[in-house]
Structure 1
Amino acid sequence: MNDKKNYGFTTTILHNDRLKGIEHGSLHKPVHTSVAFGYADARQLASVFQGKEPGFRYGRQGNPTISALEDKVNKMEQGVGTLCFATGMGAIGAVFQGLLRAGDHVVSSSFLFGNTNSLWQTTMAQGVGVSFVDATDVANVEAAITGQTRVVFVETIANPRTQVADLQRIGELCKARGILYIVDNTMTTPYLFRPKSVGAGLVVNALTKSIGGHGNALGGSLTDTGAYDWTSFPNIYENYKKVAPAQWGLAQIRAKGLRDFGASLGPEAAHHIAVGAETLALRMERTCANAQALAEMLEADERVAAVHYPGLASHPQHGISSELFRKHGSLLSFELKDGIDCFDFLNRLKLAIPASNLGDTRTLVIPVAHTIFYEMGAERRASMGIAESLIRVSVGIEDTDDLLDDFACALEAC
């Protein structure tokens, strides 16, 4: 292969390991299980620890298998560097562990994954102010910014109600104000959307979900897109300014958020995710098509009170989603009309599986208010538009007709 050619998304990911050179001609980077790395020259060991030359220090900060996955994700997001973590929450937690200090302020979308919302509550208890806003309108973000605002954090498509943030205009606002813009790209993946295109400085991906895609490995990543000027960020310690300014953020997060915090990805999980990532584009094409068909069917059913999916013309942010994303994603949610018990409905499904993961090859369903958002209470759920009958659907790659028939039969039985 001519490595100077600009290959497509799948071709690039599929051949990335091989083009970088692998032991014994293997087509996949093998699983390196060692946590320690020896050097014949002790001076070289010191040089690696001081960041003067590349190399591996200790398994908690990475190894060759994890490094190969980081390079793949970095190619997907077109970043200047990527770090991998044990989970997506580990990646988000490492950002705030590594970059924020007491007295800082964050503006966050109020439409958040439940665990991210919980993490913000912990962050607030430790002295960082957080303002939750409706990020579907940039005016709400702008109104919440203060002199201490260090970060604006949004998800592309919110889980589970599928609100789409005003991504482009929030990016323009953050650039004008010199604020770090962090976008969680999990629901769209780098195949459907690259947050770099709207000025995001850091991009989060829960690799457990669609990138790994098979529900067999936990992982998360954080990519620096190169869009943010780290020389304007006030919380960088002098010790991490010894590298080029473009690397200041990741250098500090690697030390404070990965080395010290310890949310390290294991090599076996990294290998599973790297192999799964090879078919991301193919799977997303199928799951998005299935989600569109299922959303349209549910919207037309008289027993369904509401359907939330950006691919529907009735969705409030359908225009933004159509403009920014290649497809509208594989996640949807819907509400049943009064008198239909959501548990009875779920128990009648034969193919869709009651489970809490997302981005699997199989269709997964869950009653949101009673499970993943139960802990936050009814008042907070209501503020996020989460009805008691809301069912979240992570659409899989099943044959479309089989999937639609499964939901139709369950509704008919109700």
Structure 2
Amino acid sequence: MAKNGFTTTIVHSDRRASVEHGAIHKPMHPSSEYAFADSRELAAVFQGKAGFTYARQGTPTTAALESKISQMEGAAGTVSFATGMAALAATFFTLLKAGDHLISSQHIFGNTNSLLGTLADLGVSVTMVDATDERNVAAAWRPETRMVFTESLANPGTQIADLAGIGQWCKEKNLVYVVDNTLVSPLLCKTKEVGATLIVNSLSKHIGGHGNALGGAVTDTGLYDWSHYPNIAEPYRKGSPTSWGLTQIKKKGLRDMGGTLSSEAAHRLAVGAETLSLRMHKICANALALAQALAQHPKVAKVHYPGMPDHPQHERARQLFGGLFGGLMGIELADDIDVFDFLNRLKVLALATHLGDNRTLVLPMAHTIYYEMGPERRALMGISDNFLRVSIGIEDAQDLIGDFNQALA
């Protein structure tokens, strides 16, 4: 059968996997444990054969969702987690050891920044660089460097890393290359094509899309030969080396750390994923229309959106994301506007901390997620007191533009 398109593949993913009774969705499996008629079969699953024993290490429902994510990313395999942060934590803590060195983009989500601080406290050296230029990443290399991490689109400043350049350099250095693809989704950014080893997605965001379930995933593209990676434990050095890294992440991240995605959440996320393409096209169209309108408003000091020609990485975004530019933007209001008074006047936008939802969400960054960093660190990151993060939804574009206009009036 000819290869189908993105949406057709995801919509029919469960059905083509021979779901019981001809159901079009994989059913939700709430069982905590799974029994065996043959004790040898039970032992074989514990020793590495595919199967289910205890729900902390996955269920048929989470496995079906993982299959969808792997198909979206064109990748070799996926492990799901309770949240995107659990997926990131499992990646870092299971693959890095004290004495190792990690190079990270400095333009990353605040909670991820905090996580890297914890990693440093445990003996992993972390160097933060401006990843919009591969040369900055290369300049930070040390003999003990094991991994490079970046986001495909930075939150909230919308900087876009030199994904392809970094990927090529990591290949030459034989480094594990981790890309958080949450904010543009597998639809826009084909992260495997830029050489990523591992792709992290917060499933709570665009993939789920409906604000009704938390989840995260780590996907292995199959490009990396883990036999060259020194931190893989001996029990996981079995079979093809391309699977060793993901096996260790799954065993340590689920079995040892317990960051397990529930079957109920997995089912909701899997159904939400079916409309990812439809939602993202609407979201991207809304975002561009709003950015263009606000860029002309006298009470808006600056609009940060990759779809605008004056964005520093506009052309890179066009090439990487297939002519779409995502649903995240940063908006700096004029200095004489009280940010809280403005926010309280909004009628359509929701004042909430989330991203990739069907609803448009707005948050004052300096006073919320980045508050603990202090004014000096915020200034280095370009987060002013009047900096708003806006996650665009699927509403009617004119309603979003009108809501900003009336609140700024």
TM-score > 0.5 by shorter chain: yes
The TM-score bracket by the shorter chain reads over 0.9
Which residue of 2 is the match for residue 146 of structure 1? Answer: 142
Count of aligned pairs between the two proteins? 408
Unaligned runs of 5+ in 1: none
Q: Distance in 2 between matches of 1:258 and 1:362?
A: 32
Question: Which position in structure 2 is the counterpart of 1:19?
Answer: 16
2:50 aligns with 54
Q: 1:394 aligns with which of 385, 391, 394?
A: 391
From 363, 367, 374, the equivalent of 2:371 is: 374
User: Equivalent residue for 2:84?
Assistant: 88
- The residue that corresponds to 1:237 in the other structure is 233
Shift of 1:266: 0.3
The corresponding residue for 1:346 is 343
Aligned twin of 2:25: 28
The one-character-per-residue Cα deviations of 1:156-195 (angstroms, maximum 9, x if unpaired) are 1100010000111010110011011000000110000111
SS in 1 for 2:114: helix
- 1:320-379 alpha-carbon deviations (Å, 9 max, x no partner): 101110211000011011110111111111000100010110000000010011112212
Equivalence map 1:321-332=2 (5 Å):
321-326=317-322, 327-332=324-329
Q: Which moved more, 1:94-103 or 1:374-383?
A: 374-383
Q: Map Cα deviations across residues 2-34 of structure 1 (whole Å, 9 max, x no partner).
A: xx3200000000000000011121111111000
Quote how far apart the aligned CAs of 1:203 are: 0.1
Q: Superposition pairs for residues 173-188 of structure 1, below 5 Å?
A: 173-188=169-184
Q: CA deviation at 1:243?
A: 2.4
Deviation per residue, 1:38-63 (Å, 9 max, x gap)? 00000100011101x32112101100
RMSD over aligned CA atoms reads 0.7
Alignment of 1:13-412 (within 5 A): 13-51=10-48, 53-326=49-322, 327-412=324-409
Cα distance in 2, alignment partners of residues 236 and 365 from structure 1? 42
Taking the aligned partners of 1:315 and 1:183, their CA distance within structure 2 comes to 21
**Counterparts of 1:391 and 1:369 in 2: how far apart (Å)?**
8
Q: Distance in 2 between matches of 1:406 and 1:337?
A: 17
Q: What is the percent sequence identity of the aligned residues?
A: 57
- Which 4+ residue blocks in structure 1 deviate beyond 3 angstroms? none
- Where 2:127 maps in the other structure, the secondary structure is strand
What SS class does the counterpart of residue 3 from structure 2 fall into?
coil
TM-score by length of 1: 0.98
**What letter corresponds to residue 76 of structure 1 in structure 2?**
M
1:5 correspondence with 2:7: no
SS in structure 1 of the partner of residue 14 of structure 2: helix
**Contact 2:223-2:242 at 8 Å conserved across structures:** no
When normalised by structure 2's length, the TM-score is 0.99
Does the residue aligned with 1:334 lie in a helix, a strand or coil?
Answer: strand
